[in-house]
Amino acid sequence: MLKLFEVTGFKNFENTIRLDFSDVRDYKFNDSCVNKDLLGKIIVYGKNSVGKTNLGLAIFDIVSHMTSNNVTPGLYEYYLNTNNKAGFAEFHYVFSFGPNEIDYRYRKNEKQELVYETAAIDGDTLFEFDYENMEGNLSGVEELLPNLNMVFRGNDSILKYAITNSSLDDSHPLYQMQRFGSRMLWFRSLDENRYIGYEVKSNNYLDFLFEGNLLKEFEAFLHDAGIPENLRAIEDADGITRLYFDTQIPLPFFKTASSGTKSLYNFFYWYKTATDVSFMFIDEFDAFYHYELAESIVELVEKMPECQAIMTSHNTNLLSNRIMRPDCYFILTSDKLTSLANATERELREGHNLAKLYMGGEFDV
């Protein structure tokens, strides 16, 4: 699981933004939001343009060089912060796998090329490498993998190379990190399939209901969300089966459905296909949802026990100890990310009205 994340100099984050998943309080409610003493479910609030989307992109930058999974084009344009004088953005991850920890830090330039990379396992440096000068200390990885050819060209990730070409046991923390990274998923809960990670390419986004016999299940999902129309599959004149609303005159789903309904399709697709996701970031997850529907989506995500999840929202109706807990609600500003538990000197209890406190300025940071 991800224990710590920091980013500096990326997009609108001029200064370091830090998210410590180990900052868990001793609340006696909503334990499903915590897994293995780490924050498992988080909702991030913040004003428009403060960087909620960019927070997700920063966390998922690792996908671009550690896996071969999809990164939708255009998401990482204007990579460095406009005030960045260092010439690189720095990303820092600490992963926890049982008794082991991997501390991984790297830097990328405007072209999104690695210029520096270092990794340590349980405090012992595995390697440190400067790609601009093509020099560094590789003694740790050479000791761990003595048969590995350590001749490098270009700026491909040494860590990825070492993991991919090693014969370590599957339980080794490096392999666990690789599996974790390959199962990370970022997507936007909008009427488009823009996503990062998990799959190399999402080929069946439009027809997965038919391939998986999930049409009736999706129909029931929409009914539960308050959308009464039934659905049907119709083979069109071109021989392609498409999704329709089962009305007197069938209406094509993706041409006539509301933004909220198409957003539900997007969520349902990933909820059903990404069954072993390790880390999920849903950007603007409730942008088109009624507040009751947004709460039901949060409940579904909370039932994914092995998945860490972050959702961004403006919906203050979700700020409730009935749904989550103060150490799992965060406020993002231009220079920091703070949980409600750390944003006030008040001792927050289960009976507190978090939404009222938030609207009243209790958590101004």
Q: What is d(CA 158, CA 179) in angstroms, rounded to the nearest whole number?
A: 17
- The tens digit of pLDDT for each residue in 152-162 reads 667 899 999 99
Q: What is the pLDDT of residues 300-333, one digit of tens each?
A: 999 998 899 999 999 999 999 999 999 999 999 9
For residue 86, pLDDT over 90 is answered with: yes
Query: What pLDDT, on a 0 to 100 scale, did the predictor assign at position 300?
Result: 92
Nearest to 261 by CA among 301, 216, 207, 223: 223
Tokens, residue 16: 């370091």
Q: Above 70 in pLDDT, residue 220? A: yes
Confidence of residue 166 (pLDDT cuts 50, 70, 90): confident
**Residue 168 binned pLDDT confidence (cut-offs 50, 70, 90):** confident
CA 133 to chain centre: 33
User: Once rounded to an integer, what is the mean pLDDT over residues 158-175?
Assistant: 91
Over the stretch 94-131, which tens digit does the pLDDT of each residue have?
Answer: 999 999 999 999 999 999 999 999 999 999 999 999 99
3-state secondary structure of 333: coil
Q: Of residues 151 and 252, which shows the higher confidence score?
A: 252
Strand partners, 95: 2, 102
The pLDDT score that the predictor gives to residue 202 is 76
CATH code: domain 2-198+274-359 is 3.40.50.300
29-36 CB contacts, 8 Å cutoff, 24+ apart = 29/321, 29/325, 29/350, 30/321, 30/323, 30/324, 30/325, 30/328, 32/302, 32/303, 32/305, 33/302, 33/324, 33/325, 33/328, 34/328, 35/1, 35/305, 35/306, 35/308, 36/1, 36/96
pLDDT digits (tens, 9 = 90+) for 42-85: 999 999 989 999 999 999 999 999 999 999 999 999 999 999 99
Confidence of residue 188 (pLDDT cuts 50, 70, 90): confident
pLDDT at 79: 98
pLDDT at 150 over 80: no
Worst-scoring range by mean pLDDT, 41-55, 240-254, 278-292?
Answer: 278-292
Calculate the CA 292 to chain-centre distance.
Answer: 23
Q: How many percent of the chain have pLDDT more than 90?
A: 79
- pLDDT at site 58: 98
Task: Using the predicted structure, report yes or no on whether residue 212 has a pLDDT greater than 90.
Answer: no
Q: How much is the pLDDT for 119?
A: 98
How far is Cα 128 from Cα 105, in angstroms, rounded to an integer? 9
**Per-residue confidence (pLDDT) for residue 24, from 0 to 100:** 98
Q: How far apart are CA 65 and CA 159, in angstroms?
A: 10
Give yes or no for residue 192 having a pLDDT over 80.
no
Instruction: Provide mean pLDDT across the span 257-268.
Output: 91
Using a pLDDT cut of 70, give the percent of the chain over it.
98
Mean pLDDT (the chain) is: 93
What DSSP assignment string belongs to 129-161?
EETTTTEEE-HHHHHH-TTS-----TT--HHHH
Instruction: List the domain boundaries for the chain.
Output: 2-198+274-359, 200-267
Q: How confident is the model over 243-251, as a mean pLDDT? A: 96
Given this model, what pLDDT does residue 15 score?
Answer: 96
**The model scores a pTM over 0.85:** yes
Q: How far is CA 83 from CA 52, 255, 266, 320, 334, in A?
A: 19, 43, 36, 37, 13
Query: What integer is the mean pLDDT of 164-191?
Result: 90
Q: How confident is the model at residue 276 (pLDDT cuts 50, 70, 90)?
A: very high
Mean pLDDT of 258-275: 91
Cβ-based neighbour number of residue 279 at 10 Å: 21
